[in-house]
Amino acid sequence: ETTLTQSPAFMSATPGDKVNISCKASQDIDDDMNWYQQKPGEAPIFIIQEATTLVPGIPPRFGGSGYGTDFTLTINNIESEDAAFYFCLQHDNFPFTFGPGTKVDIK
């Protein structure tokens, strides 16, 4: 089973900041990594696919990087509406596994 370690667990940012969230896999998963945003009481929203591809309709301030075991979600010029819970998902092998998530607060 591939374990995903996500950091930080919580962060507080100021509008306009650049934010990086890390997701590390316990084994090589190529680029089989997706990122999601979730707000309380809502379904997760798909924001990055295959590690680096921005999902259509998602603002370009979101970006993804990485391959193999180390991945990063970057939010440039963060906005208040980006306050949410972010998590990673690996779909390289079963069982699919998830990172424990990062709560992003906007000051």
Partner 1 sequence: QVQLVESGGGVVQPGRSLRLSCAASGFTFRNYGMHWVRQAPGKGLEWVAVMSPDGSDVYYADSVKGRFTISRDNSKNTLHLQMNSLRAEDTAVYYCAKTTRGYNYGYDYWGQGTLVTVSS
Q: Which residues bind partner 1 (CB under 8 A)?
A: 32, 34, 42-44, 46, 49, 55, 87, 89, 91, 94-101
User: CB of residue 42 vs partner 1: minimum separation in angstroms?
Assistant: 7
Of the pair 82, 87, the CB lying nearest partner 1 is at: 87
Rounded distance between C-alpha atoms, residue 107 and residue 99, angstroms: 24
Tokens, residue 106? 């906007």
Token pair 């906005």 is at which residue?
79
In terms of Cα–Cα distance, which of 59, 51, 2 is closest to 25? 2
The total of other beta-carbon atoms located within 10 Å of residue 56's CB is 7
Residues 6+ away with beta carbon under 8 Å from 9: 100, 101, 102, 103
User: CB of residue 77 vs partner 1: minimum separation in angstroms?
Assistant: 25
User: CB of residue 5 vs partner 1: minimum separation in angstroms?
Assistant: 12
Of the pair 89, 104, the CB lying nearest partner 1 is at: 89
User: CB of residue 17 vs partner 1: minimum separation in angstroms?
Assistant: 26
Of the pair 38, 74, the CB lying nearest partner 1 is at: 38
